[in-house]
């Protein structure tokens, strides 16, 4: 999955696969997580937010199933 670098102190890059609703997040510490069943509108909001980490913690973590992939 292609990820795009973002301006964040916690998140390095973000990718999204709309067909499956898979959101991939690479953190600055090097870990990569995939979140499953994430709607397009949530991804769009995440990419517009000035604080990616805060949005991720509030609206994505513990809301969608996930796995560590890297």
Q: What domain count does the chain have?
A: 1
Cβ neighbours of residue 31 closer than 8 Å, sequence gap 6 or more: 68, 70
Q: At 25, is the pLDDT very low, low, confident or very high (cuts 50, 70, 90)?
A: very high
- Give the per-residue pLDDT at 20: 97
pLDDT cut 70: percent of the chain above it: 100
In this structure, the strands spanning 11-17 and 32-35 are unpaired
Cα angle 46, 49, 53 (rounded to 5 degrees) comes to 70
Cα(60)–Cα(55) distance, rounded to whole angstroms? 7
Cα(38)–Cα(20) distance, rounded to whole angstroms? 8
> What range defines the domain where residue 21 resides?
3-68
């Amino acid at each position: 999955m292609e990820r795009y670098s973002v301006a964040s102190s916690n998140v390095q890059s973000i990718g999204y696969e709309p067909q499956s609703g898979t959101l991939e997040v690479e953190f600055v510490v090097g870990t990569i997580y995939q979140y499953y069943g994430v709607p397009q509108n949530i991804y769009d909001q995440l990419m517009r937010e000035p604080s990616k980490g805060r949005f991720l913690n509030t609206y994505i973590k513990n809301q969608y199933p996930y796995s560590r992939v890297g």
